[in-house]
Chain A
Amino acid sequence: MKATPIPLFVFALALLGLMTLAVAQFTPAEPQTHSQFSTMQVGGNRAADDSEHWMFGLMFGWCVIANLLAFLWLGTDGKRHAGSLQILLCLGGVLFAVVYLVMMLAFGDYVGDRGPTMLGYFPNPATWMIFGVWFMPVFFIAVYSFGFHRWFHGGGEVDRSDQEGTVD
């Protein structure tokens, strides 16, 4: 246990700061009920509001991603061959940030002059959200599974706990 949670502490403070800034700066748009169906809500002003704060949304999203990556990073410290694992995490982090950026660019187009367009089964930004933001972290899962014995499981301590934990 030689890890340090300082990055995690810093990013958590940054996210709290951004939340406070958002609350102080933005006029909250109330959820709007659908004009015909009272059990549904519509994006309405909310979408315009979100597009107005596009840059803030990008920063906020990146800060959330940085927080999540800081937690992954905490799980790498003190591991054998941690350097190569941390390089992979950095690579994954950059990919994650790029995927989020592409989703935000697609959202900008969606609410901007180009108007809503489809990409596959869903509107363009929703496709990036589902197939990008949801599927991208599979990279970290692959790192965990394929590098399990190299980075996450090893040493006599683990083997001993396996023997002790198994019942006859």
Chain B
Amino acid sequence: MEEYRAQIIAACVAIYFVVCIVVGIWAMRRTRSSRDFFMAGRDLGIWVTSIAIFSSAMSGFGFVGGPGLVYKMGMSSLWIVISTTIGYAICFFLLGTKLRRWAVERDSISLPDVIAARYNSRLAGLLAAVAIVLGVMGYLATQIAAMSTVLQSLASGLTGWDDLPLEYCAIFSTTLLVFYCVTGGIIASVYTDLVQGVIMMVAAVLVFLTAISVYDGGMTGISETLMKDDPGSMSPWGSKGMIGCLSWYFVFALGVAGQPHVISKLMMTRRSSDARFTLPMTVIGYMITALLWITLGLTMRAMVVSGAHPELTAPDRAAPEFLQVFAHPVLAGVVFAGLFAAIMSTADAFLNIGTAAIVHDIPVALRGRPLRNELGWARFVTGLIGIAAMIFALYTGDMVALLGAFGWGTFAAALVPTVAIGLNWERGTGAAACVAIASSLLVNFVIKAFEIPIPLNIDSGAIALLISIVLFVGVSLCSAPKTPASEGKPV
């Protein structure tokens, strides 16, 4: 079986791609309006919503970058993972039922729509849409770049495909993504998320079991080896340090309630009472997939430290190297499919919210009414965004990394105060929302663009988030509130 390793992996991935195409065609028949395209007709059940939420949060970063960080820094990056339990709890306490109620009562089909209605301010909606478009372009480009790179390395093992140019891989990846998002919109996106989420969970459990069985002494042996080599890396703070790790914990915990690709799913559920089950199921799903993040990085570090494996050329090679050397070919195939699933489930969510921002939110903010034939425009713009992100990924180098890093912290700082606090505090004003969103863009962009060093490894997103919270509450207390759209004419 070993001699057919590359073929087996390619076959598993090909089967997964075919499933995505079939789901896209199936979803096309269910997409009849822009409400279906962006909000899945507000008809998602508990299972679909839960899996869609955690799988779009656990991106390719979780499957490749996460183990790479553990390999490089020791326990530090686990603070990102462990923030999820409290993060999802906060998200559901504040928005679990409320966001859906606002969306239904104002017939909102996007997050900026809800923001514009809440503050009776088109400017607030416009700024939120701009923040989303900027974040989406960076995130989407990094996902396409990751997918193309993995596809290229997969093809390199197949005879006749070993020198496939990266551009071809990017074109294939984008075409596949755009196909099912154009045909089926968010319906295709969430139902492929369902398939992707299940594959990710299976892959994570199998990798966990393999990882602890390939090292003598299992997880205890791994820990003892690493502790003997460097006790500091196995302390809770790893090489990042205490304040840096806690700033990660803070921004990733609160940031969940500000990620548009995550919280917009709460607007699509069939019943608001589903939130009761969606929360625990989402957290369980995330915890299972996080097993891969934790065990794979530690195992590879222990393998290298103990001399059982040569040093990796780069930390991000931890996951691919483990799969190539230690995993059974079928397991490697499932995990590679899981890796594509992780990347694509995030990318399709971004494609959808980016399209909503351009086709719906910005025209509504500028013209006061939506475009005619919104569904047609949505399909066209989805393709356009996909192509733009692909070009961006291939030809702009550092800019992609800059906008990719810009994403989480910007979304958190822009949307946590305006959405999570604003929907729970009626004194929050439109002026405060605009100031909070503008400050989040400014602070994050200035820190990233000018590469301002922050001592003690404090995360720039944490600083931007704290500033925007303080500004939002402070400006709200100092400015006169407008009547929200709930009490007046809908925006």
> Measuring CB to CB, which residues of chain A are less than 8 angstroms from any residue of chain B?
1-6, 8-9, 12-13, 15-16, 19, 22-23, 26, 28-29, 31-32, 34, 37-44, 46-47, 49-50, 53, 57, 60-61, 64, 67-68, 71-72, 74-78, 103, 107, 110-111, 116, 118, 120-123, 125-126, 128-130, 133-138, 140-141, 144-145, 148-149, 152-153, 157-158, 161-162, 164-167
Contact = CB atoms under 8 A, between A and B. Distances in A.
A137 B85 contact: yes
A138 B87 CA distance: 11
Nearest to A57: B242
A30 to B, nearest CB: 10
Most chain B CB inside 10 Å of its own CB: which residue of A23, A68, A75: A75
Interface in B253-273: 253-254, 257, 269-273
A107 to B, nearest CB: 6
A85 B425 CA distance: 18
Nearest to A85: B93
B233 interface: yes
Contacts of B277: 145
A50 B425 CA distance: 38
B150 interface: no
A145 B279 CA distance: 8
Contacts of B89: 72, 137, 140-141, 144
A164 B270 CA distance: 10
B90 A138 contact: no
Contact of B242 (A60, A68, A134): A60
19 contacts: A1-B424, A4-B425, A16-B467, A23-B456, A72-B93, A74-B94, A75-B90, A75-B93, A110-B235, A121-B219, A134-B82, A141-B89, A144-B96, A144-B279, A145-B277, A148-B276, A152-B96, A152-B276, A165-B272
Given A15-B250, A22-B455, A75-B424, 17 more contacts: A4-B425, A12-B469, A26-B243, A37-B311, A41-B233, A46-B237, A47-B232, A67-B250, A68-B90, A110-B231, A134-B82, A141-B89, A144-B89, A152-B96, A161-B100, A161-B272, A165-B42
A140 B93 contact: yes
Contacts of B304: 37, 40
B75 A126 contact: yes
Interface stretch (B132-140, B152-160, B220-228, B345-353): B220-228
Contacts of B368: none
Interface size range of chain B in the complex: 35 or more
Contacts of A37: 304-305, 311
Nearest to A37: B311
Nearest to B312: A39
Contacts of B74: 41-43
A144 B115 CA distance: 25
B235 A47 contact: yes
Contacts, number: 271
A64 B223 contact: no
B473 A9 contact: yes
B239 A23 contact: no
Contacts of A12: 466, 469-470, 473
Contacts of B81: 134
A65 B218 CA distance: 33
B242 A50 contact: yes
B303 to A, nearest CB: 11
A79 to B, nearest CB: 10
Interface of B: 41-43, 71-75, 78, 81-82, 85-86, 88-90, 92-94, 96-97, 100-101, 103-105, 218-220, 223-224, 227, 230-243, 246-247, 249-250, 253-254, 257, 269-273, 275-277, 279-280, 283, 287, 294, 301, 304-305, 311-315, 420-421, 423-426, 454-458, 462-463, 466-467, 469-470, 473-474
Contacts of A2: 426
A38 B240 CA distance: 16
Nearest to A31: B239
Nearest to B221: A121
Contacts of A134: 81-82, 85, 287
A25 to B, nearest CB: 10
A9 B71 CA distance: 37
B93 A39 contact: no
Contacts of A166: 42-43, 270-271
Most chain B CB inside 10 Å of its own CB: which residue of A26, A28, A136: A28
Contacts of B97: 152-153, 158
A75 B423 CA distance: 10
Contacts of B43: 166-167
Most chain A CB inside 10 Å of its own CB: which residue of B105, B219, B273: B273
Contacts of A75: 90, 93-94, 424
Nearest to B314: A39
B224 A118 contact: yes
A26 B273 CA distance: 49
Contacts of B473: 5-6, 8-9, 12
A165 B270 contact: yes
Contact of B78 (A6, A28, A130): A130
A57 B79 CA distance: 15
Contact of B424 (A3, A19, A23): A3
A168 to B, nearest CB: 9
A94 to B, nearest CB: 15
A126 B231 CA distance: 11
